[in-house]
Chain A
Amino acid sequence: DTEVTQTPKHLVMGMTNKKSLKCEQHMGHRAMYWYKQKAKKPPELMFVYSYEKLSINESVPSRFSPECPNSSLLNLHLHALQPEDSALYLCASTPGQGDSNSPLHFGNGTRLTVT
């Protein structure tokens, strides 16, 4: 079982839809991450939140909009996506963003398909 919970597990959306991915952790971690993973590839960092503030945006298109309502929750709002955005979206957390020796705790991801 993972301590980082992601919902939904699967999502199919059209290119004109608006949807949101949710992530929740109750480990008291203060850094939360969004990763995108294409099939047979390693995860790619999208966003990092540290103490509920966006600290890293890896030049992600504006059709992806992250939000951190509180220290336990992380959302990723999706709008006007393209078929190439279909991927596994992973949420992760660490005690603090500056803890480079702390491993990432991953959720099981949301499998997104854009039609």
Chain B
Amino acid sequence: AQSVTQLGSHVSVSEGALVLLRCNYSSSVPPYLFWYVQYPNQGLQLLLKYTSAATLVKGINGFEAEFKKSETSFHLTKPSAHMSDAAEYFCAVSVADSWGKLQFGAGTQVVVTP
């Protein structure tokens, strides 16, 4: 079975600083990996996804993530944090034939300080 671990349940960054959210996955077969963002009182919105094409994936709102098979990681970064980036971020994994069963990480709450 596949799973993801998000390191750090809470991250505080200064406006303009680098945002780095860590995600490690476990899967015995090639994974599909996703990052979602959830703003208060909203559903989850896809930031980006890795589906075995390019290992460096660019997403919306200036975010990107790099798939590193040797490290089983899919960390999310943004060079310069904006106040609007304050939200909950979820890493998720699925594999072929998993029939819609997406495994979510526990989530990381991002706080952006002026």
The residues of A with any CB-CB pair to B shorter than 8 Å are 2, 4, 6, 31, 33, 40-43, 45, 48, 50, 55-56, 90, 92, 94, 97-98, 100-101, 103-109, 111
By CB atoms of chain B within 10 A, which of A43, A92, A103, A107 has the most? Answer: A103
Shortest distance from the beta carbon of B71 to any chain A beta carbon, whole Å: 21
13 examples of A-B residue contacts, CB within 8 angstroms: A42-B90, A43-B104, A50-B100, A55-B99, A90-B44, A92-B44, A100-B97, A101-B32, A101-B96, A103-B34, A104-B102, A106-B44, A106-B45
Q: How many residues of B contact A (CB 8 A)?
A: 27
Sorted nearest first, the 10 A-B pairs with minimum C-beta distance are A106-B43, A42-B104, A101-B51, A103-B46, A101-B32, A100-B94, A97-B100, A106-B44, A108-B43, A48-B100
Contact A101 B99, CB 8 Å, known A41-B107, A90-B44:
no
The reply to whether A100 and B44 contact each other, CB–CB distance below 8 Å, is: no
Q: Does B106 belong to the interface (CB within 8 Å)?
A: yes
A31 / chain B contacts, CB cutoff of 8 Å: 100
Contact A43 B32, CB 8 Å, known A56-B101, A97-B99, A100-B95:
no
| Chain B residue nearest in CB terms to A49 | B100
The reply to whether B94 and A101 contact each other, CB–CB distance below 8 Å, is: yes
Contact A108 B41, CB 8 Å, known A48-B99, A101-B32:
yes
